[in-house]
Structure 1
Amino acid sequence: MFPDDESETPEELEEEIPVVICAAAGRMGATMAAINSIYSNTDANILFYVVGLRNTLTRIRKWIEHSKLREINFKIVEFNPMVLKGKIRPDSSRPELLQPLNFVRFYLPLLIHQHEKVIYLDDDVIVQGDIQELYDTTLALGHAAAFSDDCDLPSAQDINRLVGLQNTYMGYLDYRKKAIKDLGISPSTCSFNPGVIVANMTEWKHQRITKQLEKWMQKNVEENLYSSSLGGGVATSPMLIVFHGKYSTINPLWHIRHLGWNPDARYSEHFLQEAKLLHWNGRHKPWDFPSVHNDLWESWFVPDPAGIFKLNHHS
């Protein structure tokens, strides 16, 4: 035995990687599949912060404790939707994007304490790589967050298949409005997708990011600043404004997205194997019909011990 061969200090051994993910009542199966995929593909010490509204907290706990996920380290965090009062316009073309939990990413430092660096993930993702790699993303000095650019799509053929996709600021902001014009941001600026975020909590608080985001939510309620053609930017638009020119980038393989965009558009098998993280953003979710590449998602599905959440893979 070599008891002295523990070269790491206790601090290094104990470093936790905090992963924040929401669990919404109607799609809790998504959250559990994402958690399962992360936990199964890493040796790192993950602490899951599972965020829900008050009426779902017991169900979240039961699902984790009465399934194969019982081994994970987790904390359940209640999100109080009252913080959003007066900050959301009700007239979105996709009402599901107005769900309060969509805005949890705006409030990370209020929900998570004692961590310098945090990963936030949307619930409709699957992680195929070691999340330690994503956590090790370098954030430049003065940057509160890293995102994946919308112009870093893998190839031209993929862009052609994703007809109607928004990948510039013009797709999210209404450039006819003075408040938007006055920002001086070119409408052809590349947007980013905030479904995968690596965030620095110290910088976030220092720059008062949450306050800035709230300001732009309130301005939108008053002046309707966001583009009506929105593919899902109710939470994206304020972030595009606040983080413009002030964010680091995530390795593109850590955010292969648009799998939910078009049920007829498929990626190559080779490309999907290379991907570290898959994101079914768009309407076509892998637990519903029609959807693509749902076999990849389903391999991580954790059946609901309460029998409420069911897969719907038939027309």
Structure 2
Amino acid sequence: METQERNTGLDQVAHESLNFTEEILSARSFSRQLAEQMTLAKAYVIIAKEHNNLHLAWELSSKIRNCQLLLSKAAMRGEPVTLEEAEPIIKSLSYLIFRAEDAHYDIATTIMTMKSHIQALEERANAATVQSTVFGQLAAEALPKSLHCLNVKLTADWLRKPSLQELADEKRNSPKLMDNNLYHFCIFSDNALATSVVVNSTVSNADHPKQLVFHIVTNGINYGTMQAWFLNVEEFSWFNASYAPIVKQLLSADSQAYYIGGYQDNVAPKLRSPKYQSLLSHLRFYIPEIYPQLEKVVFLDDDVVVQKDLTPLFSLDLHGNVNGAVETCLEAFHRYYKYLNFSNTIISSKFDPQACGWAFANVTARYHYWQEQNADGTLWRVGTLPPGLLTFYGLTEPLDRRWHVLGLGYDLNIDNRLIESAAVVHFNGFMKPWLKLAIERYRPLWERYVNRSHPYLQDCVTS
């Protein structure tokens, strides 16, 4: 019986609260009049402060607090505001608003003032957005403590264990590296943990894992860390300034000033990343020179996770094209005109501005040509995608979208069905899965392929 009475009381309160909501929306209610006067008074508080009329601003603020208190009490008790309660506040607020208008704080002035405030807030919001992007970029570029720890331990192992070096030499001379009956994948990376996830996920989902061959290239700094798998990028003696225009550009004084000098202030934050200075980012255009004996190679970025068997890619008919990739034209910002300077006749005379961008025969010569044309940075600013779009223009076979789903490093709203159906999911963007700023919804897709049982990884994560 007691429970029933309590429930009845709750229903009554809910009903009365609903009536109060209707009352405050009613044009005839005192609550509505108080709310409207309070809104106008808040605007005059700002204007009075700007005109240094602090006493009027204080009086208005005091009456606004009284008004808020009265409305709060009425809501709590579930009864409408009475005339006796509302009249003193309405009169005093009306008098103060009249004083504000008499001081020429009229509606026109109010509108202009509010517009200026809105503009100032928009500028602050834009500045905060830019700052957030810069901070996100800095966080993405920084090497997490756990990864640094892992690199140090692996490098120490490499230096003190000659058996590892002997094993690496044996692998480098394996005939499998040039066997076109096997499935060849290449990864260019300086991140050992990320690359291990790419390899683990590819092998785990392959129908015939023993037929996979991974060609992994790193730089000199990480050579000792990942020597068991990797080739050293500095060992490509032909990859120098006289052969590759990008090497010449990156070594130039202007390029150094562009990336580390004051000119960066005029560059969009996402274009300032040091990754654009890394030769590893540009090696994908030299795959024919790096692996001349191989007929087909699948290139994998180090921020992808493979979810299905990729060997069917090797049997796809590219119809005479040298590249196969998924189109990214679902959004307008993936059109060519978003990446290239079409005001330059060199670009506008040869390319369609509405052509689709790509998520990435011998194309190296074409790549060299466009890098030379862009020596002064007038065709595009930085990055590997613009020259890649030019290099593979008209030479790329579009693949089914399910082969490659992008955006897991920046897009919070990718459809789960699209992710589940994807052969490869790509964490492109600043929110990499190995960073604390990763999107939590997608992180498990990557973490399931991290070898948590490795003692070094356990030590580095817990230390």
- TM-score w.r.t. the length of structure 1 is 0.73
Give the Cα separation in 2 of the matches to 1:309 and 1:132. Answer: 35
1:178: how far off? 2.7
Indicate yes or no: 2:206 matched with 1:42: yes
More moved, 103-112 vs 86-95: 86-95
User: SS of the counterpart of 1:56?
Assistant: coil
What is the match of residue 199 of structure 1? none
Amino acid across the alignment from 2:423: K
- Give the helix-richer structure, 1 or 2: 2
Runs of 4+ in 1 over 4 A off after TM superposition: 303-312
Among all aligned residue pairs of Structure 1 and Structure 2, give the percentage whose two residues are the same amino acid.
24
1:271: how far off? 2.6
Indicate yes or no: 2:294 matched with 1:145: no
**Equivalent residues in 2 for 1:276-315, closer than 5 Å:** 276-292=423-439, 293-302=442-451, 306-307=456-457
2:378 to 224, 230, 244: 224
Give the Cα separation in 1 of the matches to 2:421 and 2:222. Answer: 35
1:222: how far off? 2.2
Indicate yes or no: 2:402 matched with 1:253: yes
Q: In the alignment, is the contact (CA less than 8 A) between 2:187 and 2:299 conserved in 1?
A: yes
Structure 1's unaligned 5+ residue stretches are 1-12, 63-74, 154-158, 160-164, 195-202
2:357 to 172, 180, 191: 191
Measured against aligned partners, the alpha-carbon deviations of 1:194-215 in whole angstroms (never above 9, x if no partner) come to 1xxxxxxxx22xxxx1121022
2:414 to 260, 264, 267: 267
Measured against aligned partners, the alpha-carbon deviations of 1:226-268 in whole angstroms (never above 9, x if no partner) come to 1x5xxxx711111211221221122211110011124xx1323
**Equivalent residues in 2 for 1:84-233, closer than 5 Å:** 84-88=246-250, 89-90=255-256, 91=258, 92-141=271-320, 143-151=321-329, 153=330, 159=331, 166-183=333-350, 185-194=351-360, 203-204=361-362, 209-226=363-380, 228=381
Structure 2's unaligned 5+ residue stretches are 1-178, 259-270
1:102: how far off? 0.5
Say how many residue pairs are matched: 254
Higher relative contact order structure (alpha carbons within 8 Å, sequence separation ≥ 6): 1
Give the Cα separation in 2 of the matches to 1:274 and 1:291. Answer: 22
What is the match of residue 189 of structure 2? 23
Amino acid across the alignment from 2:201: S
What is the match of residue 66 of structure 1? none
What is the match of residue 393 of structure 2? 244
Give the Cα separation in 2 of the matches to 1:311 and 1:221. Answer: 44
1:33: how far off? 0.3
What is the match of residue 65 of structure 1? none
Amino acid across the alignment from 1:276: A
Task: Kindly report the root-mean-square deviation, in angstroms, between the aligned alpha carbons of the 2 structures.
Answer: 2.6
More moved, 131-140 vs 299-308: 299-308
Give the Cα separation in 1 of the matches to 2:310 and 2:374. Answer: 35
Q: In the alignment, is the contact (CA less than 8 A) between 1:29 and 1:309 conserved in 2?
A: no
User: SS of the counterpart of 1:106?
Assistant: helix
Give the Cα separation in 1 of the matches to 2:367 and 2:373. Answer: 10
Give the Cα separation in 1 of the matches to 2:408 and 2:203. Answer: 22
Q: In the alignment, is the contact (CA less than 8 A) between 2:303 and 2:427 conserved in 1?
A: yes
Indicate yes or no: 2:240 matched with 1:61: no
More moved, 109-118 vs 214-223: 214-223
Measured against aligned partners, the alpha-carbon deviations of 1:53-89 in whole angstroms (never above 9, x if no partner) come to 1332221135xxxxxxxxxxxx532223644421344
Give the Cα separation in 2 of the matches to 1:235 and 1:311. Answer: 33
Q: In the alignment, is the contact (CA less than 8 A) between 1:124 and 1:285 conserved in 2?
A: yes
- TM-score w.r.t. the length of structure 2 is 0.51
Q: In the alignment, is the contact (CA less than 8 A) between 2:405 and 2:418 conserved in 1?
A: no
User: SS of the counterpart of 2:366?
Assistant: helix
1:109: how far off? 1.4
Give the Cα separation in 1 of the matches to 2:276 and 2:459. Answer: 20
Q: In the alignment, is the contact (CA less than 8 A) between 1:255 and 1:276 conserved in 2?
A: yes
User: SS of the counterpart of 1:58?
Assistant: coil
**Equivalent residues in 2 for 1:62-81, closer than 5 Å:** 76-80=230-234
Change (3 A) 1:256 1:311: farther
- Give the strand-richer structure, 1 or 2: 1
Amino acid across the alignment from 2:367: L
Q: Whose Rg is larger? A: 2
What is the match of residue 156 of structure 1? none
Give the Cα separation in 1 of the matches to 2:323 and 2:317. Answer: 10
Q: In the alignment, is the contact (CA less than 8 A) between 1:169 and 1:191 conserved in 2?
A: yes
